[in-house]
Structure 1
Amino acid sequence: MSLVSKTYGKGKVRVMRVHRDGERHEVRDLSVQAMVTGDFGRAFTDADNSTSLCTDTVKNIVNIVARENMTLQNEPFCKAVAEKLLGAYPQVESATVTAHETKWVRLAFGGTPHPHSFVLDSNGRPYAKVVATRDAVSTLSGVSGFSFLKSTQSGWSNFHKDGFTTLAETDDRIAATAMEASWHWNAEPADYEAANAKILSTMIEVFATTYSYSVQDSLYRMGTAALEAVPEIEDVSMACPNKHYIPLNLKAFGLENNNQVFVATDEPHGQIECTVGRG
């Protein structure tokens, strides 16, 4: 029997680069697959791993290239990863690097682009729900999977600590979520679409333009602002899973990471929910 083909590598290497140009940040969120071919056949046929590099090493190469190339667009970034693999390992004959981007679009308020707050491209699914009996009609509107983030101006500190606590405090982190939100109407607005848009834009502006001491802090203030902006709604309910971006430790490679390169993970995630009402 012969080994007809062989390749291996690392898939779904999530890497977020935050390029800080003063107050203005640029974010690039990629999911990378890096595959190599070469002199690795004996690992398949003879249980001989002596020429094989670890898939974890391939992941490290992706992260190192990310830190060394903060502003590269997707195509030259993939090329840089491939060239790094070919240059570092003579047993590698070819490298195939694929990167899918999660596209974040910069928010703007009053016609001015915001320096560090973004929403997901093609974002969210608006919905409506009506419950009607012979005596009453209840109308609810909302949005599902509305994703947004800011690359700074968020923290989590002064929390309860005990023997089970391992998380360190921070006053500068990425805050990101995919929000489920809904609101009950106590009166019919002049234009549902316009009112819904105002509710959402009001909440997002509060999130983007004010410091967040926690997701809980932001959600309460977002809901309060929505109720003030649109008097026809009775309450606002929000459910926000944390989309975690964890700073990578690159010290082993002689590289500092000053909140610039992150790994994305949403499992497990914090789940923060609340309802803000007029009562």
Structure 2
Amino acid sequence: MPSLSTNTYGKARVRLVKVRRGDDQTELLDWTIRILFEGDYQDAYRFGDNSGVLPTDTMKNTVYSTARASSASSPEAFALELTTHFLRGNPEAEYVSVEIAAKPWEHAVINGSSHPSTFRLAGEELQTVAVRASRTATEIRSGLRHLVIMKTADSGFEGFKKDSLTTLPETADRLLGTDASAEWSYIGTPTSFRGIRQRVREMLLKTFAAHQSRSVQHTLYAMGEAVLHQVPELSEIRLTMPNLHCLLVDLSRFGQENPNEIFVPVDEPHGFIEATIRR
């Protein structure tokens, strides 16, 4: 008789907004959460026996109830609270995974000052966390998505392999843009996820800006190397950097020169570069 090889079930896209109220200002947390259980659910799949199945609606309610009592200010800390809670009450679950994507709300600046209770959404960039926990081990991966960055100097692409179908011209001066994602793992459990995230992001931007790029691969490695050098709490970082192509427009047919100033953005197709840098 066939047996159940793997199984996962849970609740996805649980939306949570929490206001943390302080004496002088408030903090706005906007998280989208996914919860997944893996474990001994053979009877549910084979025989329709739901006696060990926690309803996914209960998972959703647990998010809101836990958030009410939680003091967590980072998505990592909140994910750890949820995995601990679910493992404690569900012996059928061998692993519980909690993934959170956080929107970047920041205080609006009004008349030159940060307003204590008014916020603006600071772009499409997301903070991410994925926690996968059992009763004996916990894996934490933090990250960011949609870090959209571009540089207008110090980037080229030359000396690449060519064959009979190569039409791309070499260039020592091009725009380099990417919609970057990063995900990193920790050595142990940090005391300040927020501080580490800020340092990682700063190093990614600083290195991207300063690097004399010979390719996306070249800059990706430099960014990951710099993060591991400056943030000793990390064991590895994976970077995904698809190209945001901007192609130089040929203005010669109009009798005009184009000294690397007029470009057309092209979304598809685009180059896709990804690598993991590990200690």
The alignment's TM-score, normalised by the length of structure 2, stands at 0.55
> How much does 1:189 deviate?
2.5
Counterpart in the other structure of 1:144: 145
The answer to whether 1:245 aligns with 2:241 is: no
- 1:202-232 deviation line (CA, Å, top 9, x unaligned): 1211110121010000011110110111111
The answer to whether 1:271 aligns with 2:276 is: no
CA distance in structure 2 between the partners assigned to 1:203 and 1:123 by the alignment = 17
* Equivalent runs, 1:170-209 vs 2, <5 Å: 170-209=171-210
CA distance in structure 1 between the partners assigned to 2:237 and 2:215 by the alignment = 18
Counterpart in the other structure of 2:80: none
> How much does 1:164 deviate?
1.4
CA distance in structure 1 between the partners assigned to 2:255 and 2:172 by the alignment = 25
CA distance in structure 2 between the partners assigned to 1:237 and 1:266 by the alignment = 23
One-letter amino acid of the counterpart of residue 187, structure 1:
G
What SS class does the counterpart of residue 177 from structure 2 fall into?
Answer: strand
Counterpart in the other structure of 1:122: 123
Counterpart in the other structure of 1:257: 258
- Which structure would you say has the larger RCO, counting Cα contacts within 8 Å and 6 or more residues apart? 1
CA distance in structure 1 between the partners assigned to 2:160 and 2:153 by the alignment = 19
CA distance in structure 1 between the partners assigned to 2:211 and 2:124 by the alignment = 22
Counterpart in the other structure of 1:97: none
> How much does 1:194 deviate?
1.2
Counterpart in the other structure of 1:87: none
CA distance in structure 2 between the partners assigned to 1:133 and 1:200 by the alignment = 29
CA distance in structure 2 between the partners assigned to 1:250 and 1:214 by the alignment = 26
CA distance in structure 2 between the partners assigned to 1:214 and 1:266 by the alignment = 19
> How much does 1:123 deviate?
4.7
One-letter amino acid of the counterpart of residue 223, structure 1:
G
The alignment's TM-score, normalised by the length of structure 1, stands at 0.55
> How much does 1:188 deviate?
2.4
- Aligned in 2, Cα 1:151/1:123: closer, same or farther, shift over 3 Å? farther
- 1:91-112 deviation line (CA, Å, top 9, x unaligned): xxxxxxxxxxxxxxxxxxxxxx
CA distance in structure 2 between the partners assigned to 1:123 and 1:221 by the alignment = 25
Counterpart in the other structure of 2:233: 232
Unaligned runs of 5+ in 2: 1-121
CA distance in structure 2 between the partners assigned to 1:255 and 1:164 by the alignment = 29
C-alpha root-mean-square deviation of aligned residues, in Å?
1.0
What SS class does the counterpart of residue 241 from structure 1 fall into?
Answer: coil
Counterpart in the other structure of 2:160: 159
One-letter amino acid of the counterpart of residue 199, structure 2:
K
> How much does 1:237 deviate?
0.3
Aligned residue-pair number:
158
* Equivalent runs, 1:21-36 vs 2, <5 Å: none
- 1:226-278 deviation line (CA, Å, top 9, x unaligned): 01111111100011110000010111111110100100012000000000001
One-letter amino acid of the counterpart of residue 208, structure 2:
F
One-letter amino acid of the counterpart of residue 183, structure 1:
W
> How much does 1:190 deviate?
2.9
CA distance in structure 2 between the partners assigned to 1:263 and 1:243 by the alignment = 11
Counterpart in the other structure of 2:135: 134
One-letter amino acid of the counterpart of residue 273, structure 1:
E
| Overall identity of the aligned pairs, in % | 37
One-letter amino acid of the counterpart of residue 233, structure 1:
L
What SS class does the counterpart of residue 241 from structure 2 fall into?
Answer: strand
Q: Is contact 2:211–2:222 with CA below 8 Å preserved after alignment?
A: no
Q: Is contact 2:228–2:234 with CA below 8 Å preserved after alignment?
A: yes
